[in-house]
Amino acid sequence: MALQKRAWAEPFKIKMVEPLRMTTPPQRQQAMEEAGFNTFLLKSDDVYIDLLTDSGTSAMSDVQWAGMMLGDEAYAGSRNYYHLEEAMQRFYGYRYLVPTHQGRGAEHLLSSILIKPGDTVPGNMYFTTTRAHQERAGGTFVDIIVDEAHDPTDERPFKGNVDLNKLEALIAKVGAKRIPYVSVAVTVNMAGGQPVSMQNLKELRALTRKHGIRVILDATRAVENAWFIKQREKGYADKPVAEILKELCSYTDGCTMSGKKDLLVNIGGFLALNEWDVFEEARNLVVLFEGLHTYGGLAGRDMEAMARGMEEAVQEAHIHARIGQVEYVGEKLHALGVPIVRPVGGHAVFLDAKRFLPHLGQLEFPAQTLAAELYLEGGVRAMERGIVSAGRDAKTGQHHVPKLELVRLTFPRRVYTQAHCDVTVESVYEVFQRRKAVRGLKMTYEPKYLRFFQARFERL
């Protein structure tokens, strides 16, 4: 048999281990019922392979841990703040930094400052916390992503792109003055981790400049987007990921960032801006909600770990292995005939629950059901990204009914091995084989905000 050459292997070895607990099917049945069929309500100790999220769940390196010991915990002017500021300017290229405890802290500040009641905020598909803050500030989110983003079988390479015709039509309708900024996420989580092309960002910049509208990047997974540009877009194959990242940011006016994803830390985030006036207001406001402007709710050691994480995030071997692992799982499931969002995204494999459980109506919560079944099968924890996550329309109170009804298998960075990946694939396939017997759910408790976190369900 010919040996197959590996495209990637983990560019690290393991120095410290954390034991995993395996459970029996009756134990999982009980845990799932106690959790109201919501994987967010499971105890982590009852989970074998945790693919709930890649948020804050990645493994830090020895260099980052060493940095934790160099935390300067002064209340004001911590040296780690200056290191973080320097690293942000070097890798992302924005002028001003406001640290926040995590991404939504930055979204809160930005939305409060820029959005006035009645404003419209266009975006390439919504993200849960981002849209919640835009609405809380009195704005209305309008989706301007390309149509193919809503089709899980469409193989186009940049399904996160902004549809510039939709944006132009929106500007004509509401007027540029009522659009404080365009909210662009790279990659697009809710579309399945799909990237945006550099060409699209350039064209977006040209259009928004003409109308005097800002572009604010959700840079949470921008490194992963840069990797896809390197793989898929003409002219970028030989450019370093770090260079692509900086170019990508150069077409925008600022960013919100959850450091818990690309930046390989367990907590942290920031708001970065190029405009002095907006920065000044954010620096004032952060004191009210997060902490002084040189720590923003973080310990000095957290800022140090994030600054060091920034350097590691753009290393080619790291990002290759990170996305390679996700691709490995995606391609295996695809080969087994399991319906997933194509192409495989950067941080997660998304199971298409509508095609996986076609006998369930959307109000029987197929993705919520599938996530529960996966846990029952193998102790693998995933997350619903469908009608539960989409929530209700703030004005009419009706369910948002998204076209995509997905279950996200999200891979923490540098945490699980290829054998864990194989177990995950096997668990999904077991459920797939008995899918016709799976019954749906009904919602028995619904919280007011971001209901997917705490909602409870019962089996129909």
Ligand X SMILES: *Cc1c(COP(=O)(O)O)cnc(C)c1O
In the shown chain, the binding pattern of residues 222 to 261 toward ligand X, with x for contact by CB under 6 A and - for none, equals ------------------------------------x-xx
Residue list 107-126, contact with ligand X (CB under 6 A): none
Annotated active-site residue 75? The verdict is yes
Contact between 259 and 102 under an 8 Å Cβ cutoff? The reply is yes
b/e burial code for range 108-130 (CB count within 10 A of at least 16 → b)? bbbbbbbbeeebbbbbbbbbbbb
From CA 21, how far away is CA 25, in angstroms rounded?
A: 13
What's the closest the beta carbon of residue 335 comes to ligand X, in angstroms? Answer: 28
b/e burial code for range 438-447 (CB count within 10 A of at least 16 → b)? bebbebeeee
Count of residues touching ligand X (by CB under 6 A): 15
Annotated active-site residue 40? The verdict is no
Residue list 125-154, contact with ligand X (CB under 6 A): 127, 129-130
Q: CA–CA distance from 213 to each of 119, 141, 197, 382 (Å)?
A: 12, 15, 20, 38
From CA 196, how far away is CA 304, in angstroms rounded?
A: 30
Q: Which is nearer to ligand X, 187 or 369 (CB)?
A: 187
Q: Tokens at residue 370, please?
A: 């599938």
36, 38, 51, 55: which one binds ligand X (CB under 6 A): 55
269 binds ligand X (CB under 6 A): yes
Annotated active-site residue 128? The verdict is yes
104 binds ligand X (CB under 6 A): yes
220 binds ligand X (CB under 6 A): yes
Annotated active-site residue 332? The verdict is no
Q: Which is nearer to ligand X, 254 or 379 (CB)?
A: 254
Q: Tell me which amino acid residue 366 is.
A: P
From CA 386, how far away is CA 401, in angstroms rounded?
A: 8
39, 78, 102, 120: which one binds ligand X (CB under 6 A): 102
Q: Under the phi-then-psi rule, with left for phi > 0, alpha for psi from -120 to 50, and beta for the rest, what region is 37?
A: left
Among residues 332, 385, 413, 451, the one annotated as catalytic is 385
Residue nearest to ligand X (CB): 103
Q: Which is nearer to ligand X, 345 or 366 (CB)?
A: 345
> Stretches 37-45, 100-108, 157-165, 232-240: which one binds ligand X (CB under 6 A)?
100-108
103 binds ligand X (CB under 6 A): yes
* DSSP three-state, residue 157: coil
Closest-CA residue to 47 (of 381, 416, 420): 381
Residues forming the site for ligand X (CB under 6 A): 55, 102-104, 127, 129-130, 185, 189, 218, 220, 258, 260-261, 269
Catalytic residue list: 75, 127-128, 218, 261, 385, 452
